[in-house]
Amino acid sequence: MPRIPAAERRSDFVKAAVEVIATHGIDGATTRRIAEQAQAPLATLHYCYNSKEDLFADVFKFVAGKFRDVIEDSDPHADLTVTARRLLRGAMECYLESANFAATALELISWARRQHEERGIGVYNQAVDALRSALRGAASDHPLEAETIDQIAYVIATLADGFALNWLTYGDRSAATEHMEVTVSVLDSWLAVRLESAPAALS
């Protein structure tokens, strides 16, 4: 049997950890369960990772990378409203693609907040900062005050997280698809009012 490269093995363990964390939570995500999910010997996992915390660090990177991909896929030439809508829809589609990914993302942030306060906040801040950056780029022709950009990023994050919790609670994909449209319409309505009254940034 050909030897599997360590990088590929680590990727397998990260994906397995996502599934195990979603099912058993952080406390139940033992290295043995993760190795079994990855269909690999436990010794191989310990060869790839010195500790479970090191593995979880890579799971954090995986989760952050999924959201970063959503932001990077956003059309850099679109206007602010279109960009905001695409960012929200992209985040919700990330969650809808895999209920286990949604469960793991929320579990990791909650766990990190409990165990390592600054790290937990930092993970969430990175996502919101990336949203702000994309929104500022979309508003470059008509710059807005930082407060307005902050509010839009907050609303997108809050709507996406609320969608994720509802999707995880009920697990109804058909209903969740309809809820995505409702959620985007809420953002559209709020943006129309907020941007109408938003002052431009001072140059």
Question: Identity (one letter) of the amino acid at 56?
Answer: F
How far does Cα 5 stand from its chain's mean position?
28
User: For position 200, what pLDDT does the model report?
Assistant: 63
Q: What integer pLDDT is reported at residue 1 of this predicted model?
A: 41
Q: Which of 189, 7, 168 is nearest to 88 (CA)?
A: 189
Q: Which domains, ranges and CATH numbers included, belong to the chain?
A: 1-50 (1.10.10.60), 58-197 (1.10.357.10)
pLDDT value of residue 97: 93
What's residue 149's pLDDT?
94
Query: Look-up: residue for tokens 């310990």?
Result: 46
Averaged pLDDT in 10-residue chunks for the chain of 203 residues:
72 95 93 96 93 88 86 78 94 93 88 69 78 89 88 95 94 96 97 83 54
> Which residues, 6+ apart, have CB-to-CB distance to 48 below 8 Å?
6, 9, 10, 13, 55
